[in-house]
Structures are given as C-alpha cells and as structure tokens.
Amino acid sequence: MTRILIVAWTLLIAIAAPAAAQCPRSDALGTARTLVVDPAATPRVGTKSFPQTLPLADKEVVLTFDDGPFPATTGPILAALAKECVQATFFLIGKHATEYPALVKRMAAAGHTVAHHSLSHLNMEQTAPDVAIADIERGITADDIALYGRAATPPPVPFFRFPYFASTPALLDLMQTRGFAVFGADLWASDWNPMTPQQQLALVTGRLAKARKGIILFHDPKAQTAAMMPDFLRYLRVNGYRVVHIVPPAGATPGG
C-alpha cells in the first residue's frame, strides 16, 4: 500500500506538470523550474531558523503557505495561483485537512506540494516531548488520510514545518532520523499581524526587494493574504522573479 500511495503522489505531479506547461495564458508568471529537495542532503532549510537554505538563484522564490486548508481563503489563493500557472507548497494543519479533504485533494490535483505542519499547531518548545511527537505524527497521518484515503508509511512527502518555527534539538534530530526535511523560511509576509492587503503587499514586496530571493512564508487562512495574492503574483511577474516549485525525491522513504 505504501508503494501505491507513493506512486499515486508521483502521478499527481506528473499529471499536473503538463497542465502547468500548457498554461493557457502566454503572459502568465508560470513555474520556472522544479527543485527536488532530498531530506538526506538537505535536512533543514530557511535562514530565519537555520544557517542554510535552498540553492536558489537571484530572483528565485519558493511560495509556501501554512495553517490551511480553509475554504474562504484557501480557495481564492488556489484560484490566483492557477491563473498565473504557479505551483506552491502548503504546510497543512491535520485538523483542518480532516475537516476539508476536498481542498487538500484540490491542492494536489493542481500540482501543489502538500506538506505537514502538525495536528493542532502546538508550540513544540512549550510542549512535553511525548505530546509534541504525537501531535506531529497525528498531523502527518491526518494530512495523508485526507489526500490518499489512508495513512502512508513512510509519508510520500517528507516535508515538515514546525508551528511558530518553534522546535527543540531533540525534535529536530527526530525529524532528521525519520528522513524529513524541516522547513523554515527566508522571509515572512508577517500576515499574522492585522493589516490591509495593500499594507501587506508593500511589506512583503519591500522585504523581497532587499532579499532578492528565498522561501517566502504566507498563511492561507488569512483574508488579507488571499486578497493581496493576485497583486503579489503580478508583482513577481512584472519584476522578473521566477517561481521554483519544491518536490520530494521520487519514492522518498523517510527513515529508510
């Protein structure tokens, strides 16, 4: 069954890739390239949390979204990404994935990478280790059940982001032992703070203009993020940025 689920994930990517290549809009931003992230070689990335990040060229960005899915806002974000023929990575909360499995399937069908963000968004630094581990594992299981119909061992997408970027050395070691890449970010949209879509657009584009590249963190349940996403993608296109889509190695086997 594990092999079947991994093959299913590979087919989802294969099906989505031609769709992206056949983007109906010749002037769309598009996805410039796909970057395979091997957890064995890249166990931790994102300079907000770790010394290293992904090997991105100048003006290359990776779009990531945390805390979804949430219909009122994730749906419009998926529509904005589809209009520009762009693939992103969604780090899901397991409880939300369980509540809205159709949205999880919609993400994968559009070619996005479906990754993990725990079951209930606990601060793992302030949580007993056994509770933290259980919440991580149950979140991964919930995401996979929402997407594939049952849990996969090992999970086909071994990508994880700690809630609040709050981890411990022991938990980081555990995730590495299990074969997961732990993602931080290189710049934040800071969309957990109340602001208008226009203010958020100015904030994130200003930060990107200084950083020039990197893994960008958004939160798809935020209404301001959903509202500003079409303008942000337009900014990337007009200013010559290129979107990089991250995927796991084919047949990834965490812990194997």
Tell me which residues are annotated as active site. Answer: 66, 219
Rounded CA gap, 133 and 99, in Å? 22
Write the DSSP assignment of 104-134 as a string of letters: HHHHHHTT-EEEE--SS---GGGS-HHHHHH
Residues 171, 162 contacting (CB under 8 angstroms): yes
The number of CA neighbours under 13 Å toward the Cβ of 125 is 8
How far does the chain reach from its first CA to its final CA, in angstroms?
16
Residues 141, 94 contacting (CB under 8 angstroms): yes
